[in-house]
Amino acid sequence: MSERTRLAGIGFLGGLAAGLVVWGVQVERSRRDLFNRSPVRRLAALGHLGGQPGAETARLLKDYVRWEARPALRKRGQHLLRRMEAYLD
């Protein structure tokens, strides 16, 4: 294996690891922002979580729908929750 190929492989794995760290931080921030005082941040968090299907996201959305006081955001959360539940079935 050439030095160039080895360095490219190391670079790829390093980029992959960095991407996973950034993704984890974004997911955690979205979970935190879902219950933020700012409706704009809550809407952004819903948008991000919509692309993260899974059982944990569905549980989080159930809590959110019960908590959310704004009808438009609650409706969006319910829509995403139905999508998550359909995905999990």
Question: Are the C-beta atoms of 64 and 35 separated by less than 8 Å?
Answer: yes
**What is the pLDDT of the chain when averaged over all its residues?**
86
pLDDT for the residue 27: 61
Q: What is the pLDDT of residue 20?
A: 66
Largest CA distance in the chain: 60
**How deeply is 31 buried, as exposed, middle or buried, from its count of CB atoms within 10 A (0-12, 13-18, 19+)?**
middle
Model confidence band, residue 16 (pLDDT cutoffs 50, 70, 90): confident
Half-sphere exposure of 35 (CA within 13 A, CB side): 11
Identify the band that residue 46 occupies on the pLDDT scale cut at 50, 70 and 90.
Answer: very high
pLDDT confidence band for 77 (50 / 70 / 90):
very high
Q: How many residues does the chain have?
A: 89
